[in-house]
């Protein structure tokens, strides 16, 4: 297992095919996917195929990571970076099981990911995109140091674009 960051209560670990079961279960919760625009996997096998083909680490030295709680080694969800090649930006994202919402884990994971982006990858800027109705995720982005940069109106809601520039 490859760990990319360690925090006070959690570690961030590179995703593997062995994560397929919890990855599938996380995406089965309609509340978790409510503002993402994503659809659940059709099966555990589809989740496994997704993870087997996941190449963000090999291509860009970054990707989504499993959030592992240190006290009991529980997987809380994922957090990490995604490079958008077509538009040339890196996005911070996170998704946790509902039972771990509101406990500061997403903020801690986001801050670890930001530290990795700026100090290990020497990135200049990160983007966070969030539906205006997703107040919990907005709080996480703001607590992580991101500020509102712009918004995009979509069918039925507004997508907020947060940014954070590397201070170094």
Structural Rg of the chain based on CA atoms? 15
**Domain extents in the chain:** 3-165
The predicted structure's pLDDT at residue 63: 96
**Is the distance from CB of 37 to CB of 96 less than 8 angstroms?**
no
CA distance 99 to 123: 32
Question: Tokens standing for 57?
Answer: 């680490």
The predicted structure's pLDDT at residue 155: 81
CATH of domain 3-165: 3.40.630.30
The predicted structure's pLDDT at residue 1: 83
| Cα 104 to Cα 109, 110, 137, 139, 154, distances in angstroms | 9, 10, 11, 10, 29
Backbone φ and ψ of 132, nearest 5°:
-60, -20
Q: What is the pLDDT along the chain (168 residues), one digit of tens a residue?
A: 899 999 999 999 999 999 999 999 999 999 999 998 899 999 999 999 999 999 999 999 999 999 999 999 999 999 999 999 999 999 999 999 999 999 999 999 999 999 999 999 999 999 999 999 999 999 999 999 999 999 999 888 899 999 999 988
The predicted structure's pLDDT at residue 168: 82
Closest CA to 89 of 161, 39, 27: 161
Question: Tokens standing for 141?
Answer: 């982005």
**Residue 167: how many CB atoms within 10 A of its CB?**
6
């Amino acid at each position: 297992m490859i760990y990319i960051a360690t925090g006070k209560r959690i570690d961030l670990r590179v995703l593997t095919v062995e994560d397929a079961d919890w990855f599938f279960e996380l995406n089965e919760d309609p509340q978790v996917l409510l503002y993402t625009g994503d659809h659940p996997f059709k099966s555990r096998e589809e989740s496994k195929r997704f993870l087997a083909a996941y190449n963000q680490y090999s291509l860009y030295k970054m990707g989504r990571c499993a959030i592992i709680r240190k006290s009991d080694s529980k997987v809380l969800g994922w957090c990490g970076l995604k490079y958008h090649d077509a538009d040339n930006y890196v996005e911070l994202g996170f998704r946790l099981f509902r039972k771990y919402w509101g406990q500061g884990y997403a903020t801690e994971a986001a801050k670890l990911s930001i530290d990795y982006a700026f100090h290990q990858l020497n990135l200049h800027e990160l983007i966070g995109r969030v539906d205006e109705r997703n107040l919990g995720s907005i709080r996480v982005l703001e607590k992580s140091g991101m500020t509102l940069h712009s918004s995009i109106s979509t069918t039925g809601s507004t997508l907020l674009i947060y940014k954070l520039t590397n201070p170094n």
